């Protein structure tokens, strides 16, 4: 990135590979800073929609064209029209709230670079609200003026300022260790460092969710201790604000015999894979199920679930690999394309070995 900033004209192509966050955030950054570059990704990334963000950036003066299919990467960014100086009023954009919060965060973060700032008017139901608030908090930490007013997000024109910041551990990654404690022998526990009680991460919701599925959380000075406990009864959970937890929670519920109703899964269809379809296929291999009850409701019923050497497809999705891996505590299984975890947790398999898992790589 330092080379990009120093010598933008030398960069012809940037490859976000399969990282949706990188694709969305980099698109906004490149557009607002007037870079001329081709931004591409993997075959799956070229199937993930980005039209809502591109349309918004075009309203801000960016020249962006699609090189293959309209509405999808790759993108050819060809600079940005000069913006009038002395503008006092923020540019107003209307953006759907039920799309990926990454679009909204991307626009928020470039708002301080606009002459009059930015006003985002969010239309309809807003999903993944904690991620919007996390973006706001981090922007403010680095000197930006940003207000989340519910249906409107306002960003004033003010340059970012350098500041010290300690990066918190990832609650999304922690969710897989919650799954391991839930599936481990009775009384199992583990301590995870670097996680905070007061966190802007939406996936901290795993604390309350897993309390119902058999894992208690104790916060310490520098992290949490997870301890297995008795699970409660049936669970109903809205994943609107924490969609990345859905796969992990569905697998744990199926394996532990807790009936689970899931809602708020709209965004799962356009992730690294169609995660709803992938869950339905893979859970069925173990005797489980994920039933579509209509109107956005899915149910994981109590079924005869057994781990007996099944082969798990990962569908180019890091979270499919990590959600199903804890089932090895109940029996042998094979996870295909294990390197998909490099996207968000490259040391995942090594950490499992440290925890006592026996892993054999098949060639």
Residue 362 lies in a domain: no
Shortest CA distance to 29 belongs to which of 53, 65, 48, 3? 53
pLDDT at 2: 39
Q: What per-residue confidence (pLDDT) applies to 3?
A: 39
Q: Say if residue 86 is in the same domain as residue 33.
A: yes
H helices present in 98-240, as ranges: 101-110, 129-141, 171-183, 206-212
Catalytic residues: 244
**Number of domains present in the structure of the chain:** 2
Residues 98 and 38 in one domain: yes
CATH of the domain at 207: 3.65.10.10
Q: Are 314 and 203 found together in one domain? A: yes
Q: What range does the domain containing 336 cover?
A: 171-354
Residue 267 CB neighbour total at 10 angstroms: 20
Backbone angles phi, psi at 188, to 5 degrees: -65, 150
Strand-pair category, 62-66 with 75-80: antiparallel
* Alpha-carbon gap, residue 131 to 152, rounded angstroms: 15
Residues 136 and 190 in one domain: no
pLDDT for 84: 64
* pLDDT given for residue 8 in this prediction: 46
DSSP string, 122-145: EESPPP-HHHHHHHHHHHHHTT--
Query: Is residue 111 included in any domain, yes or no?
Result: yes
Q: What is the CA radius of gyration of the chain?
A: 22
According to DSSP, the β-strands at 260-263 and 235-238 are parallel
Question: In sequence order, which ranges of the chain are alpha helices (DSSP H)?
Answer: 2-6, 20-32, 51-59, 101-110, 129-141, 171-183, 206-212, 246-256, 275-285, 318-324, 348-354
Residue 119 lies in a domain: yes
In DSSP terms, which residues pair with 226 in a beta bridge? 190, 217
Pairing of strands 297-300, 260-263: antiparallel
pLDDT at res. 11: 55
Per-residue pLDDT of the chain (363 residues; tens, 9 = 90+): 333 444 444 458 999 998 889 999 999 999 999 999 999 999 989 999 999 999 999 999 999 999 999 999 999 999 887 766 666 789 999 998 887 889 999 999 999 999 899 999 999 888 778 889 999 999 999 999 999 888 899 999 989 999 999 888 999 999 999 999 999 999 999 999 999 998 989 899 999 999 999 999 999 988 999 999 988 889 999 999 899 999 999 999 999 999 999 999 988 988 889 999 999 999 999 999 999 999 999 999 999 999 999 999 999 999 999 999 999 999 999 999 999 999 999 999 999 999 999 999 887
Same domain? For 337 and 222 the reply is yes
The answer to whether residue 160 sits within a structural domain is no
Last residue within a domain, chosen from 155, 181, 207: 155
- 235 and 333 both lie in a single domain: yes
Residue 299 lies in a domain: yes
Same domain for 244 and 144, yes or no, is no
* Last-in-domain residue among 123, 155, 187: 155
Q: In this structure, is residue 38 part of a structural domain? A: yes
User: Are 220 and 139 part of one and the same domain?
Assistant: no
């Amino acid at each position: 990135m330092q080379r990009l900033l120093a010598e933008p004209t030398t960069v012809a192509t940037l490859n976000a590979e399969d990282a949706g966050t990188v694709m969305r955030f980099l698109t906004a950054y490149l557009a607002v800073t007037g870079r001329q570059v081709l931004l591409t990704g993997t075959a799956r990334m070229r199937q993930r929609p980005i039209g809502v963000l591109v349309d918004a950036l075009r309203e801000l003066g960016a020249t962006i064209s699609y090189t293959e299919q309209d509405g999808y990467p790759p993108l050819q960014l060809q600079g940005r029209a000069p913006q009038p100086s002395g503008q006092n009023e923020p540019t107003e954009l209307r953006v759907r709230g039920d799309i990926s919060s990454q679009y909204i965060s991307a626009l928020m973060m470039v708002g301080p670079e606009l002459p009059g700032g930015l006003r985002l008017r969010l239309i309809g139901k807003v999903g993944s609200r904690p991620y919007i608030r996390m973006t706001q908090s981090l922007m403010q930490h680095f000197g930006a003026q940003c207000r989340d007013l519910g249906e409107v997000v306002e960003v004033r024109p003010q340059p970012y300022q350098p500041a010290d910041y300690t990066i918190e551990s990832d609650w999304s990654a922690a969710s897989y260790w919650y799954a391991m404690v839930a599936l481990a022998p009775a009384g199992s526990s583990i301590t995870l460092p670097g996680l905070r009680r007061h966190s802007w991460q939406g996936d901290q919701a795993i604390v309350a969710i897993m309390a119902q599925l058999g894992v208690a959380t104790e916060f310490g000075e520098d992290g949490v201790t997870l301890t297995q406990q008795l699970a409660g009864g049936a669970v109903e959970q809205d994943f609107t604000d924490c969609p990345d937890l859905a796969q992990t929670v569905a697998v744990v519920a199926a394996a532990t015999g807790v009936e689970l109703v899931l809602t708020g899964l709209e965004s799962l269809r356009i992730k690294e894979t169609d995660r709803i379809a992938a869950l339905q296929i893979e859970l069925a291999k173990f005797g489980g199920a994920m039933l579509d009850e209509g109107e956005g409701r899915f149910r994981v019923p109590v079924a005869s679930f057994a781990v007996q050497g099944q082969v798990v497809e990962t569908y180019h999705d890091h979270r499919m690999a990590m959600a199903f891996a804890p089932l090895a505590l109940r029996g042998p299984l094979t996870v295909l394309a294990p390197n998909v975890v490099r996207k968000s947790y490259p040391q995942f398999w090594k950490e499992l070995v440290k925890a006592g898992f026996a892993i054999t790589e098949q060639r």
